[in-house]
Amino acid sequence: MGKWRIRAATALVISTATTPILFAPEADAVKFGKRTLKQGMKGSDVRVLQKSLRRLKLQTRATGYFGGQTTKKVKRLEDGRGWRVDGKVQRRDAKRIKGMVAKQKARKRARRLAAGAQAFPIPGPHNFGGASARFGAGRSGHSHQGQDVFAACGERLLAAQSGRVKVEAYQGSGAGHYLVIDGADGIDYVYMHLLKASWANKGTVVQRGWQIGKVGQSGNASGCHLHFELWTAPGWYSGGRPYDPLPSLLQWDSYS
């Protein structure tokens, strides 16, 4: 009996000692602002903090680990704002930082609209895939005429430019639910693989930034994504030609 108790006690010590390792993944799921952050901590909320600092022109690597560099940048922010300088981010500080980032985004959007720039078509999380997603990539019997932008099914899809809907249709063997919008700038904007038919029928005038559908994988598609094309005047299969939309997408994405 004595031996059993000693072994049980030893096992308990070992279990307690390893708890931080076993439960570290749970910390990764903490929402930014739910706990006080300080040096030595890690998690997705730390990564959000680091990205926010970067947006506020305090260059910080988004590693998810609150190290010395992050502490230094937090102190610089605190000092510049007249906050208590301790290198920690408490809940009220997180709320302030969120507000600052939101104001910065609003100013960017205002400048973008004032400059007449297009809206990025997917406001939610997204990525541009690999080489096969690029304009000109090889396909069976043809080349890829657009750029794929991957996002979760159901993410909002926005009109990149104001214009009139030229085509709203469905193609089961290829594009799925798709839209072609004759842009106000003379360029045709093509959106393919929508989750379902858009509310914007042929002839509908839409404004830049309006939601025209949702990201899907209708038609011949692997995974949820937007297949996006740009065509020169006079337009889509009417004398125009497609060109690589990635440089434009990257530019619009930088405004968001």
pLDDT in tens, 85-137: 999 999 999 999 999 999 988 887 777 666 667 899 999 999 999 999 999 99
Residue % of the chain over a pLDDT of 90 = 77
Res 248 pLDDT > 50:
yes
pLDDT value of position 28: 60
Residue type at 74 in one-letter notation: V
168-192 CB burial, b ≥16 within 10 A, e <16: beeeeeebbbbbbbbbeeebbbbbb
Task: Output the DSSP codes for 112-152.
Answer: HHHTTPPPPS--SS-B--SGGGSTT-EETTEE--SEEEE--
Res 23 pLDDT > 60:
no
Res 39 pLDDT > 80:
yes
Domain spans in the chain, listed from the N-terminal domain onward: 1-29, 31-114, 131-255
pLDDT value of position 115: 61
In CATH, the number for domain 31-114 is 1.10.101.10
Name residue, tokens 């939610």: 124
pLDDT in tens, 172-188: 999 999 999 999 999 99
pLDDT winner (highest mean) among 5-9, 26-30, 189-193: 189-193
Res 255 pLDDT > 80:
no
Spatial neighbors of 249 by CB under 8 A, at least 6 apart, are 120, 121, 128, 147, 149, 228
H or E, element range at 25 = helix 24-28
**Class assignment of domain 131-255?**
mainly beta
pLDDT value of position 47: 94
Helices (H) and strands (E) in the chain, counts: 6, 11
- Tell me what the pLDDT averaged over the chain comes to: 88
pLDDT value of position 58: 94
pLDDT value of position 107: 82
Residue % of the chain over a pLDDT of 70 = 86
Asked whether the whole model's pTM tops 0.95, one would answer no
pLDDT value of position 37: 97
